[in-house]
């Protein structure tokens, strides 16, 4: 169940950034394919999960198609890869409460009268997901575009919702690909 939650966050909480090679002619690139599969890692089972990877790949394929890029086997202009990471995070929130005004100030400017201040600190644990999508130029074998999205991971209840979240997250990360459009 945790693995399925790793797909992505709710759409509104994703912060994205993009970077690219301004000298690359993105308008001339029309075909793409996947980067060769990396060797199997035995790390975080939440991200190394067949269902999670299939959802992200389907979302990237849809985004590339909607941007006019054709997926080809063999000799593409671009190769696309991605990386998904999950990190556990903790935040603390302190609430201060002040009850009742003082009756006035004494000669040393300190309040007197019935006042009370209390503080309550709450700990909140959550998971932050980071999705990095890289686009490489096949001819030069250089990275030409990178999009990154980061946000809090919320568990989805069913596979359709998980795919919808993957689609939205990938679309947000790829919103500036290709540059200039």
Taking the domain 2-87+130-173, which CATH number applies?
3.30.160.670
Question: Any residues with CB less than 8 A from the CB of 153 and at least 6 apart, and which?
Answer: 5, 6, 8, 9, 86, 126, 127, 128, 129
Please name which of 83, 84, 73 lies closest in space to residue 46, comparing C-alpha atoms.
84
Give the model's confidence band at 105: pLDDT under 50 very low, under 70 low, under 90 confident, else very high.
low
Q: What is the pLDDT of residues 21-62, one digit of tens each?
A: 999 999 999 999 999 876 666 666 666 678 888 999 999 999
Q: What is the pLDDT of residues 113-132, one digit of tens each?
A: 556 677 888 888 888 889 99
């Amino acid at each position: 169940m945790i693995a399925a939650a790793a797909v992505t966050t709710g759409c509104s909480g994703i912060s994205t950034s993009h970077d690219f090679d301004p000298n690359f002619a993105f308008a001339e690139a029309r075909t793409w394919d996947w980067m060769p599969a990396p060797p199997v890692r035995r790390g975080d089972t939440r991200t190394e999960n067949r269902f999670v990877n299939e959802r992200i790949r389907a979302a990237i394929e849809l985004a590339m198609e909607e941007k006019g890029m054709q997926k080809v086997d063999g000799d593409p202009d671009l190769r696309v890869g991605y990386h998904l990471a999950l990190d556990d995070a903790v935040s603390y929130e302190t609430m201060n409460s002040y009850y009742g005004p003082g009756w006035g100030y004494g000669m040393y400017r300190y309040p007197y009268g019935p006042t009370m201040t209390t503080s309550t600190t709450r700990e909140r644990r959550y998971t932050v997901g980071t999705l990095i999508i890289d686009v490489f130029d096949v001819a030069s074998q250089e990275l030409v575009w990178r999009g990154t999205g980061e946000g809090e991971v919320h568990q989805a209840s069913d596979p359709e919702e998980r795919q919808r979240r993957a689609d939205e997250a990938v679309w947000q990360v790829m919103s500036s690909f290709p540059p200039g459009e």
